[in-house]
Amino acid sequence: MKALPWIVASLGVGVALCVLWDRRSRQYQTMGGGDLHDAVEDVAETTFRWGTRQRVAGSAERVTGKLKEGLGRVAGDDDLAADGVVTEAAGIVKDAAGSLAQAASETIHNLNSAGA
């Protein structure tokens, strides 16, 4: 089980990144401008949080997929290995969607701050 320490370390890094991203989303402070400015800022923060959740879920699915694929290969179960590849691909897509949402959130925040 040489891979177990790496899996545990990866999960720890994923949790730490989630905490950092959540703190980063909280740093956006409204700079005046009334209700519309606040509403747009709320949308940016909500989008960022959704993206963070998607990235964490995607990372978890990628790890799960790698585990399934590895177990399938060790056990000689081609169906389990193929299922692992599909799960890993789904995780990659979720991670990409989360990255896109975070980038959109930052763009919304920057545009909103520039307009204030």
- Reduced to 3 states (helix: H, G, I; strand: E, B; else coil), residue 30 is coil
4 is written with which tokens? 């177990």
- As for how many domains the chain has, the answer is 1
Q: At what angle do helices 4-26 and 35-75 cross, to 10 degrees?
A: 170
pTM: 0.63
Indicate the pLDDT class of residue 95, thresholds 50, 70 and 90: very high
Indicate the pLDDT class of residue 114, thresholds 50, 70 and 90: confident
31 is written with which tokens? 């700079």
- pLDDT beyond 80 at 20: no
Encode pLDDT of 69-81 as tens digits.
999 999 999 999 9
Contact 92, 65 (CB under 8 A): no
Residue 19: what are its φ and ψ, rounded to 5°?
A: -65, -45
> What residues make up the domain containing 84?
4-115
Question: What separation in angstroms does the CA of 66 have from each of 4, 42, 47?
Answer: 12, 36, 28
Residue 46 and residue 20: Cα distance in Å, rounded?
Answer: 16
- pLDDT beyond 60 at 87: yes
